[in-house]
Structure 1
Amino acid sequence: MSVSTRRRFAAVALASVAVLAVAACGDDDNSGSNTGQKPDKLVVDTFGEAGYDDLVKQYEQQSGIKIELRKVAQLNEFRPRIVRALATGKGAADVIMLEEGILNELKSNPANWVDLAPLVGDKSKDYLSWKYELGKAPDGRLMGLPTDVGSLGICYRSDLFKAAGLPTERDKVGALWPTWEQFIQTGKDYKAKTGKAFVDSSTMAVNAVMFQQNGADLFYDKENNVIADKSPAVKAAWDQAVALADAGITAKITTWSPEWSAGFKQGTFAVTSCPSWMLGIVESNSGPENAGKWDLAAVPGGSGNWGGSWLGVPNQSKHHAEAAKLIEFLTNAQGQVAAFKKSGPLPTNLKALEDPAFTSYTNKYFSDAPTGKIFGDSVLKIVPTYMGPKHQAVKENALEPALRAYEKGEASKAKAWEQFTKDAATQGAF
């Protein structure tokens, strides 16, 4: 381990002590988790569309415990809420969805989280092995049980493709773009025929391309040194995003912004990158009036994984055992299949991936696309990339702003890259 890495770990240790000190005085009733009393209510914090609406109602009937499901649409609004609750020692839910970038960051202070292993037993054989292992903190505690992974596809508006004279059947659409270069050419053809943007943003390719570099280091090396300016995977993603911008086929919309959400319904763009969990978001943003207009095709490059989460219990919850039981229910095979059918999060439970209810499932909203087969065929091939502790911060606060600056003509290519590498060093420090 390098000197700089050791210094950063020392800083993290000091910061962890400070946060724990604040948390310790923030809630004097945490001992309630050991009373063994059945709670009247459990609170669950999620972001996006986790697919839990019907499941929590089922659990309420089964357990007699009221479940309050608090959903936040935007991940960049969700993370500060969790960090604030941990820092102050109050306000956290009993069960929290931990997106992969958030989980990696919070692993620096695992004492804020309940070790689920003594409460749920050995679940290592129930899930994709690499996904289960990533739910562990450096001290070995099981911070979370896996929910989903984000096998990649491309969501497209078949009605807009038809109007542009392009194929509309999903197999023929996927055949248009076996490579990203061919994807861009399709976008040029679409714009030439319609005068409209093809994709939402140049950043739509960033996650897809980065996570198609199987097993690669991204913003950090294995010793947690920031290598954003040296990573071949990051450079490949950058170059692809720049190529999208140079082609002039993007709507130049910031992902997760109100304009982006409205663009689905308004037909501002015809395609976007779709990890499996994005299906529920596309449907929610597009509304019932656009049912049957969206479809799903293969992603350029053929595979990849973007995103995924775990469910954990913060120590400040007063109901550790009951919260862990709820997590077991939501992440078991039946729960994961139900969540997938509701909103698209792709199962990580091995029995769920083999369940005919999953493998044969078709999504009515997406023109009866066989989403179980499309996403399920690639999930067992996923090789995880190494993300590091502040991956999300580097991506959202360094990489994407620099690309948007170039896309909008606010910075040259060289200046945008310089901005990214400078901000990555700042955002990635810990």
Structure 2
Amino acid sequence: MSVSTRRRYAAVALATVAALATTAACGDDSEGGSSSSAKPDKLVVDTFGEAGYEDLVKQYEQQTGIKVELRKVAQLNEFRPRVVRSLATGKGAADVIMLEEGILNEFKLNPNNWVDLAPLVGDLSKDYLSWKYELGKAPDGRLMGLPTDVGSLGICYRTDLFKAANLPTARDEVSALWPTWEKFIETGQKYKQASGKAFVDSATMAVNGVMFQQKGADLFYDKENNNIADKSPAVKSAWDQAIALADAGITAKITTWSPEWNAGFKQGTFAATACPSWMLGIVETNSGPENSGKWDLAAVPGGAGNWGGSWLGVPTQSKHQAEAAKLAAFLTNTAGQVAAFKKSGPLPTNLKALEDPSFTSFTNKYFSDAPTGKIFGESVKEIVPTHLGPKHQAIKENAMEPALRAYETGQTTKEKAWEQFTKDAATQGAF
């Protein structure tokens, strides 16, 4: 099928889905699609991972008298289908929905499903990192989402396991071990030789690190949203680094986000993993209180990068759009972002939050009192966002990572793994 033919099919399919979603969202006032001026009894917020909102919503309830139901899903690949389904059927959408960078552009394809927040919260463009704020806008100019966090990179590591393997444990010394990914692999080989155990969780951890270190690069799509997964230098660089990690034999060969992966943190199955700032809360949750003080944070090999980060949007399906917008603004203001960071690690994008002394001086007790505010806060200045297309997350999770795992676990060859990835990327990236 020619490129032009594929584009025509994609355009027809997109128009059909958009029409369905718009019709469903506006067709039944009993389920949503209207905004009541009356004060709501309850607002619902949908998030994934560890957003750090538990204490914040309690504050909001005390200040406003409005009950907030926080619906949290652990994994993004479980979260996204729920949002898609609720928009398509016109039923079940929360009043405030977290939109991660890997799925944001997909929802920009039909901006009519989302409220323009600007008229409801005012001009907040000066309050956030400018590039982050602009990425929250739809092609028609509406402000689809208020910025929450970015995912500056680091490496979380177990000091007790490093010590047992006769490796340095102080974070500055550990960071010095791996200025490059090649040196990171060498360190992993020393660890495995000394301990007999896997150094990192999986080869895919390198993919996410390397891919998002490619400043300003096109990943699976070019700027016109053509699928270039099989041609992107940034993607190939990340792929090759993941293959090198697998070839070194230092991975636990565990699927990220699986029950085995969750348990691996507590059991010491691996000693290190890639840690964007939002991962801190996940590491702590999975590792449990018994491992407090055994983790620390070192620099990521290869320099700064940004993996992840989200926005809060309000679907037009909400019956309480004005109040939902106020709640989104509350969760993303200076105090809200500092509190969320202290709770679970999401790195602020609010400029005043990044300068707030309670953020810059914050140390994380669980991670051996690492100065996480200083470490991650300083790296924000170096972030240059990569370009993510409409189905970025689907390609990464359903094409790239499965192909790499198949090679890592010995089920296929390098050549066949790449072939499978590029084939699946074309399917997963269709829209």
- Decide: shared fold, TM above 0.5: yes
Measured after TM superposition, the shift of residue 211 of structure 1 is: 0.8
**Which secondary structure does the structure 2 equivalent of 1:228 belong to?**
coil
The 2-side partners of 1:122 and 1:315 are apart by: 20
Measured after TM superposition, the shift of residue 372 of structure 1 is: 0.5
**Which secondary structure does the structure 2 equivalent of 1:272 belong to?**
strand
The 2-side partners of 1:80 and 1:241 are apart by: 28
1:22 to 21, 24, 30: 24
**Number of equivalenced pairs:** 429
Change (3 A) 1:274 1:36: same
Provide structure 1 residue ranges, at least 5 long, that are not aligned to the other structure: none
The corresponding residue for 1:360 is: 361
The 2-side partners of 1:38 and 1:27 are apart by: 18
The 2-side partners of 1:169 and 1:109 are apart by: 49
The 1-side partners of 2:25 and 2:95 are apart by: 15
> In the alignment, residue 416 of structure 2 is paired with which amino acid?
K
**Which secondary structure does the structure 1 equivalent of 2:57 belong to?**
helix
- What whole-Å deviation, never above 9, does each CA across 1:95-145 have from its counterpart, x for those lacking one? 011111121111111111111011011111110011001101111111100
The 2-side partners of 1:387 and 1:302 are apart by: 20
The corresponding residue for 2:401 is: 400
The 1-side partners of 2:284 and 2:246 are apart by: 26
The 2-side partners of 1:326 and 1:9 are apart by: 35
The corresponding residue for 1:61 is: 62
The 2-side partners of 1:328 and 1:25 are apart by: 28
Matches within 5 A, 1:65-104: 65-104=66-105
Change (3 A) 1:128 1:3: farther
Measured after TM superposition, the shift of residue 9 of structure 1 is: 3.8
- What whole-Å deviation, never above 9, does each CA across 1:301-334 have from its counterpart, x for those lacking one? 1211100000000111100000000011100011
Give TM-score, length-normalised by structure 2: 0.97
Please say if residues 154 and 298 of structure 2, whose CA atoms lie closer than 8 Å, have aligned partners that are also in contact.
yes
The 2-side partners of 1:163 and 1:84 are apart by: 49
Give TM-score, length-normalised by structure 1: 0.98
The corresponding residue for 1:258 is: 259
The 2-side partners of 1:369 and 1:9 are apart by: 49
Please say if residues 5 and 223 of structure 1, whose CA atoms lie closer than 8 Å, have aligned partners that are also in contact.
no
**Which secondary structure does the structure 2 equivalent of 1:239 belong to?**
helix
Instruction: Write out the 4+ residue segments of structure 1 that deviate beyond 4 Å after TM superposition.
Output: 1-7
Matches within 5 A, 1:7-46: 8-30=10-32, 32-33=34-35, 35-46=36-47
Change (3 A) 1:31 1:202: closer
Please say if residues 333 and 351 of structure 1, whose CA atoms lie closer than 8 Å, have aligned partners that are also in contact.
yes
The 2-side partners of 1:241 and 1:31 are apart by: 45
Please say if residues 48 and 73 of structure 1, whose CA atoms lie closer than 8 Å, have aligned partners that are also in contact.
yes
Percent identity, please: 81
The 1-side partners of 2:117 and 2:12 are apart by: 27
Please say if residues 145 and 311 of structure 1, whose CA atoms lie closer than 8 Å, have aligned partners that are also in contact.
yes
- What whole-Å deviation, never above 9, does each CA across 1:179-203 have from its counterpart, x for those lacking one? 0000000000000001000000000
The corresponding residue for 1:288 is: 289
The corresponding residue for 2:236 is: 235
The corresponding residue for 1:51 is: 52
Please say if residues 34 and 316 of structure 2, whose CA atoms lie closer than 8 Å, have aligned partners that are also in contact.
no
Matches within 5 A, 1:281-360: 281-360=282-361
Greater shift in the superposed pair: 5-14 or 302-311: 5-14
The 2-side partners of 1:303 and 1:270 are apart by: 21
Measured after TM superposition, the shift of residue 381 of structure 1 is: 1.4
The 1-side partners of 2:106 and 2:41 are apart by: 32
Please say if residues 96 and 315 of structure 2, whose CA atoms lie closer than 8 Å, have aligned partners that are also in contact.
yes
Please say if residues 26 and 32 of structure 2, whose CA atoms lie closer than 8 Å, have aligned partners that are also in contact.
no
Please say if residues 202 and 244 of structure 1, whose CA atoms lie closer than 8 Å, have aligned partners that are also in contact.
yes
Measured after TM superposition, the shift of residue 82 of structure 1 is: 0.8
Provide structure 2 residue ranges, at least 5 long, that are not aligned to the other structure: none
Measured after TM superposition, the shift of residue 2 of structure 1 is: 6.8
Measured after TM superposition, the shift of residue 14 of structure 1 is: 3.0
The 1-side partners of 2:352 and 2:5 are apart by: 45
Root-mean-square deviation (Å): 1.3
